[in-house]
Structure 1
Amino acid sequence: MPTTPSVSPAATATATAADPAGAGWSPPGRTTALLTVTGILVVGQMYIVLPLLGPMARSFSASPGAVTWMATGFGLAYATGFLFAGPLADRYGPRRVIVLGLLATTLTTLAVPLATDLAAGCALRAVQGLAAASFAPAAFSVIATTVAPQRRPFALTCVTSGFLAAAVLVQVASQALESLAGWRTAFLTFGPLMALAAVFARRVLAADGGDRAATVRSAFAAMPRLLATPRLLLLYAATCTLLGGFVALYTAVSLAGPPGVSGNEGALLWLRAGALPAMVAVPLLAGALGRVPGRVRLPAALALAGAAALAASGAGGSAVALGAVLLLLVAGIAIAAPALVEAVAAAGGSARGAAVALYACAMFIGASLGPQLANSLADWGFAGIVRVVAAVFAAGAVLSVAAFSR
């Protein structure tokens, strides 16, 4: 919570009138908008290669299945980076970590097109993932410490929905940019955009202040205790299923999409863009959804995603039917993500920052394993893969029920 200087009652009243969220807090609109848009750019790098599997495979003389390691390499490094980014934000301040992290992500994103073979591409993607990991934990810290308490649920829902929307928006942009000038164009476009985001972050976000961890080591100290907490372990396991199933399904669309969709660039573009209404609707419904207890909202949302995945296996070759069930699946994930953050933060107690960093790590461990799950099941065809994805979401729902019973 930010520290506020002592002021007179009249000054406090004036400040409160000017800032409806309360004197001393950051303007919630600008802060939320910046973090949401920047999150789309940064988190979208996880998914940027999914529409590029074919073109990259041809460029590197490799199979599309082998190129999925460029997604997995990024994701594993990204998840590992969260373990360091959270403590660094606690020690040095979230705004500083966000700005420097965005500059590092800019450079590493621009380096990926320099790869001349798959091994170099995977290595550069891993470095990019480590740099990109600086953003999410620091963004959650900004919300927790600079946004007024009554505005935090909306800000949190917008930012987490932005993280999920990145999977759709950046895939659509990546596919469009590749069709214009090749796969390298996608990275060459997003790199400068993240540099621009760093400039805005420096200007818009509140200056770092308040208590700081004495050392990075002290900021790490809470993690072993958190990993020994049964409720948190169950929540982290449920978190792995969230993006694990999501990314596996979208990888399956690229690798083994159903007849009438696979290889049809127009249909693939429509499928990726068709989930966007769910990304917009869920934040608008944040108030109503927030009144549903987390112990009900979280497993119900994961169950919805699982049911949608199961329905996708029977969609046949209809792009319209598949798009409709993917819309429901994305809605379920968009509802579940903030519910998981809330549950993890509450279970973390005074070590909330470390708990949320572990949550982000678990989420993207799942995301990094998703492409390999789809690739390993490619011989099962699209329907077989998405049935397994449905089981993954069902397991997440069961784990979340078990967590709330502890």
Structure 2
Amino acid sequence: MSHPTNALDHTTGSGTPGRPPGWAPAARTTALLTTLGMLMVGQMYTVLALLHPMATEFGTTPGQVTWTATAFGFAYAAGFLFAGPLCDRYGPRAVITVGLAAATASTAAVSAVFDLPTAVVLRSLQGLTAATFAPAALSYVVRHIAPRHRGTSLTCITSGMLAAAVVVQVGAQSVAAGIGWRAVFWISAVLMALNLFPVRRVLRPTPRGGTDGGLLQAFAAMPRLLRQPRLGALCLSTVALMTAFVSLYTAVAIAGPPAVTGDATATLALRASALPALIAVPLLVPVLGRLPAPLRAALAFALASLTVATGSFLGGHTALLALALLLFVAAVAVAAPAVVETINANAPQARGAAVALYGCSMFIGASLGPQLAGALTGLGFDGILLVVAGVLLLGASLILPAMRHPTP
């Protein structure tokens, strides 16, 4: 993923070409933010691997427990709208630090719940505190990483956030099988706390000159952006993308094909099958970047829809379904940065607000995903996949205006 950066390049140091003295070290910064992105965003997806043990302990159904994912996602989406302006005012490192400390406490609290209503409330608090990370991380990269490394860094971070859906589910399933579902949350809390020191050590404070203008000015940009039809359509396409992404993984958990349902090993393998795609996509950035971002996004949506629709006709064959999931996740990993690049190109004067709206759209979609899958369980796994394919086609159609009327 790459962002238009001309307006920001002058804010962070000067010096010799390639790596001016003011630029942050790209490799260390990218590694830290990618790892943290997987951990923080991954909290959205932990419960998808814990639906059955949590439902058993709470005396309810896995479908009802999906509300813990939805509550997290809506709070996370709302948190984005506040975190973006806070980054502009106080700087990304400060927001990441405070947010990480708050998320540590809220995540530890989730491990102690004993009923579903309390779990839903605490998961909302966890989502609100975890939401500080992603907009702050993207803002930090745009401000502090040299332009020639910025596209790769952003792609790695966003791919890490998508990889969280796979990696964290695999890890959560393994931990829950060994020492119980509560351990997933307190282990996550410990990992968050341990990352406080690297954040302060690796990341740099943002000069005050890059954060003036105040909170009210930053918030005021958002409604102006949403009144632009193309930006509104792009945000809705992001909602469609993440609704489809999370719906598919939820469907695997609660309505999986007979060859997978009840077989923990098969479920784990199916979840892990998409990992190679999330590793490969960042390596393809130079090739993918040759296509205009709107076209790249539309093609990726279409590929995702095709693979999901094909998956519905595979009869639950695990190996073929794993291949379809691999292609689906690869398409999502290409589409997500292409959409945010298109959004940024359509909001050159308010990129911080645009990133916040993009993130909010992502997690509105991620919140709707579990509920869509839960509502469609009567259709069976194959029926859910066909609906997901239709949602992706709708998302592709929402990108078309940006293709027909490119930003000058």
TM-score range, shorter chain: over 0.9
Question: Unmatched 5+ residue regions in structure 1?
Answer: 7-11
Q: How far apart in 2 are the matches of 1:4 and 1:350?
A: 18
1:45-84 pair list within 5 angstroms: 45-84=43-82
CA contact (8 A) 1:231 1:404 kept: no
Aligned-residue offset at 1:401: 1.4
Question: Which secondary structure does the structure 1 equivalent of 2:40 belong to?
Answer: helix
Per-residue deviation, residues 124-153 of structure 1 (Å, max 9, x unmatched): 000000000001111110011101112111
State the match for 2:134 in structure 1. 136
Indicate the larger mover: 141-150 or 36-45. 141-150
2:377 is aligned with 1:355: no
Once the two structures are TM-superposed, the CA of residue 317 in structure 1 deviates from its matched residue by 2.4
Q: Pick from 156, 169, 172: which aligns with 1:171? A: 169
Q: Which one of the candidate residues 186, 190, 194 is aligned to 1:188?
A: 186
CA contact (8 A) 1:57 1:63 kept: yes
| Pairs aligned (count) | 396
Which deviations, in whole Å up to 9, do the C-alpha atoms of 1:369-400 show, x marking residues without a partner?
00000000001000000100000111111111
8 Å CA contact retained: 1:213, 1:219: no
The equivalent residue for 1:255 is: 254
Equivalent residue number for residue 245 of structure 2: 246
Counterpart-to-counterpart distance in 2, 1:22 and 1:303:
41
Letter in 2 for 1:65: G
Q: How does 1:213-292 map to 2 (within 5 A)?
A: 213-292=212-291
Residue 83 of structure 2 corresponds to 85
Q: Give runs of aligned pairs for residues 1-400 of structure 1, distance below 5 A.
A: 1=8, 3=11, 12-13=15-16, 20-209=18-207, 210-400=209-399
| Structure 2 residue matching 1:292: 3-state secondary structure | coil
Separation in structure 2 between the aligned mates of residue 395 and residue 5 of structure 1, nearest angstrom: 43
Distance, in Å, in 2 between the alignment partners of 1:193 and 1:340 is: 31
**What is the RMSD of the two structures over their aligned residues, measured on CA atoms?**
1.2
Kindly provide the amino acid, as one letter, of the partner of residue 195 in structure 1: A
Partner letter of residue 237 of structure 1?
Answer: L
Q: Which residue of 1 aligns with 2:3?
A: none
Cα distance in 2, alignment partners of residues 26 and 211 from structure 1:
15
Counterpart contact for 2:42–2:161, Cα < 8 Å: yes
Residue 9 (structure 1) aligns with: none
Q: Distance in 1 between matches of 2:366 and 2:12?
A: 40
Higher mean C-alpha deviation, range 144-153 or range 83-92: 144-153
CA deviations on 1:28-53 (whole Å, 9 max, x unpaired) are 11111111100000000000000100
CA distance in 2, matches of 1:4, 1:398: 38
Q: After the TM superposition, which of the residue ranges 20-29 and 360-369 deviates more from structure 2?
A: 20-29
Deviation per CA, 1:245-302: give whole Å up to 9, x if none: 0100110011110111111100000011110000000001111111111122110001
Shift, 1:4, TM fit: 5.6
For residues 244 and 117 of structure 1, what CA distance do their matches in structure 2 show? 27
Give per-residue Cα distances to partners, 1:55-96, cap 9 Å, x unaligned: 000010011100000000000000011000000111110110
SS at match of 2:314: coil
CA separation of 1:65 and 1:143: change in aligned 2, threshold 3 A: same
Q: Aligned letter for 1:176?
A: S
Range moving further from structure 2, 208-217 or 287-296: 208-217
Instruction: Give the deviation of 1:5 after TM superposition.
Output: 6.5
Q: CA deviation at 1:3?
A: 4.1
Which stretch has the larger CA shift, 132-141 or 22-31? 22-31
Asked whether the equivalents of residues 99 and 199 of structure 1 are also in contact (C-alpha less than 8 Å), the reply is: no
Distance 1:109 1:402 in 2: 41
SS in 2 for 1:116: coil
How many percent of aligned residue pairs carry the same amino acid?
54
Amino acid at match of 1:157: T
Which ranges in structure 2 are unaligned for 5 or more consecutive residues?
Answer: 1-7
**In structure 1, how many angstroms separate the alpha carbons of the residues matched to 2:129 and 2:212?**
22
Tell me the distance in 1 between the aligned counterparts of 2:193 and 2:311.
Answer: 38
